[in-house]
Amino acid sequence: MDTYPIFTKQNKSLLAKYLTKEVFEKLKNVKTKNNFTLFDAIQSGIKNKDSNIGVYAGDLESYDKFDLLFNPIIESYHNFSKTNTHISNLDSTKLKINPLDSSYIISTRIRVGRNLKNFPLGTIISKEQRNKVEQLVSNTLLNFQDELAGDYYPLYKMDNAIKNKLIQDHFLFKNGDRFLETAGLNRDWPYGRGIFHNKNKTFLVWINEEDQLRIISMQKGGDIKMVFNRLVKAIKKIEKELPFLCHNRLGYISSCPTNLGT
């Protein structure tokens, strides 16, 4: 099948590969309940010709309504076919790994993307909904105790000293990513965004960047188990208060199909 003629040979994205004329015709009038369309899903890949993937989702339903396009992209990227079902396993006792030799490893970081149930994804979320997500997530995190206790720093009023320090430590996310921009993910910047971190900056949560939550555990050296344990503890504590958006087959849902699963 030919790819749709809006793409040229230079366009190497999975979007260009799988948006055949036939798929385009079948999906061009499809909409989710939140009015997310094919046009919305492919914007970033159309405008950024160097995209690798080229699509973003608008909500949970996008992954079903646009499955003719999303499934082959997911299969190609994750080697996960449309008959597979994702199994999430956050049982750290099953982790078969010893601390790695810290003389070779500067730091270890594990992060996951999560979004809240009952909200559309950041691509089409309204300003009010985004602010609500910020409020729900930051209030939950501000109740955390002990090692996970920390503060929330909203981006719009972050003072320069804190900002510069976070940038220097590579902890801060930046505006201006053209992929996110064209996917609608930077609307109303910098409002509704911010960073929570504990005192030691070993536990961080970005709020309302590409996903509503990016939960991060990190520390110096190579103790993966310790990093993973902290991450799992935090994920479970958040999830108890705020259920995450989850698909019965694909696992936890992200705006970009590259981050699906666990």
Provide the binding-site residues for ligand ARG, judged by CB under 6 A: 13, 44, 51-54, 179, 210, 256, 258
185 vs 261: CA distance, rounded Å: 20
259 vs 262: CA distance, rounded Å: 8
Output the smallest distance, CB 50 to ligand ARG, in A. 7
Specify the DSSP class assigned to residue 88.
-
Q: Which is nearer to ligand ARG, 7 or 144 (CB)?
A: 7
85 vs 62: CA distance, rounded Å: 17
How far is residue 157 from each of residues 160, 161, 239, measured CA to CA in Å? 9, 12, 27
Output the smallest distance, CB 181 to ligand ARG, in A. 11
238 vs 212: CA distance, rounded Å: 13
Q: Which is nearer to ligand ARG, 44 or 198 (CB)?
A: 44
Q: Which is nearer to ligand ARG, 178 or 249 (CB)?
A: 178
Output the smallest distance, CB 210 to ligand ARG, in A. 6
Output the smallest distance, CB 199 to ligand ARG, in A. 28
Q: Which is nearer to ligand ARG, 52 or 84 (CB)?
A: 52
Spell out the alpha helix ranges (H) of 67-113.
Answer: 67-78
